[in-house]
Copies of this chain bind each other. A is one copy, B any other.
């Protein structure tokens, strides 16, 4: 299948940063030329931190899930462990650190499932989806170390419990849903 080809690509003629608060948010206005020759001005691109999100399971197959207030959601919700990735940082190095700091769990079995873009129009951040197997408790969480403001409660849930939490609106962030699906859905790993 043809993808990543240059056909259809927009030419970025200029990009003006109109708001910048590193490392959190920056906002740019691109001037682009479409393949049909049209000139589009003021096409917004939003840059948010890249991050890792982790599907971590215990030897008995339960997932590590966090219950926390998320300000983007506006209430307490369930999410998979995640954390900001520094530029050029290896996703697995980042995942090890974030999982340990947020939950106190570690693993020797890490795998990168893929890299995904949050929003196809505005971009926002990119997420490295990680799979950690056979996690075990290594110590207490150290949430302050990661700069987290949220009070995080760590839960162990079966895949069925996570699926029910998604169906009932208790897990509502796109990233958590997509990461869970990537790790657990046989369909998504068809060779």
Contacts and interface: CB of A to CB of B under 8 A. Distances in A.
Interface of A: 1-10, 18-19, 21, 24-25, 27, 30, 32, 34-36, 38, 40, 42-46, 48, 67-73, 75-79, 82, 114-125, 127, 149-151, 159-160, 163-167, 169-170, 172-178, 180-182, 184-185, 187-191
A72 B121 contact: yes
A70 to B, nearest CB: 4
A71 to B, nearest CB: 6
A187 to B, nearest CB: 5
Shortest 5 CB-CB distances between A and B: which pairs?
A181-B181, A72-B123, A70-B120, A8-B69, A178-B178
Contacts of A3: 67, 75-78, 170
Contact of A4 (B6, B76, B123): B76
A81 to B, nearest CB: 12
**Total copies of this chain within the assembly:** 2
A185 B2 CA distance: 26
Nearest to A157: B1
A68 B174 CA distance: 21
B48 A9 contact: no
A171 to B, nearest CB: 9
Contacts of A6: 75
Contacts of A182: 166, 177, 181
Contacts of A1: 165, 170
A41 to B, nearest CB: 12
Given A45-B71, A151-B35, A182-B177, A114 B166 contact: yes
Contacts of A7: 76
Most buried by B among A68, A118, A121: A121
A19 B10 contact: no
A44 B184 CA distance: 33
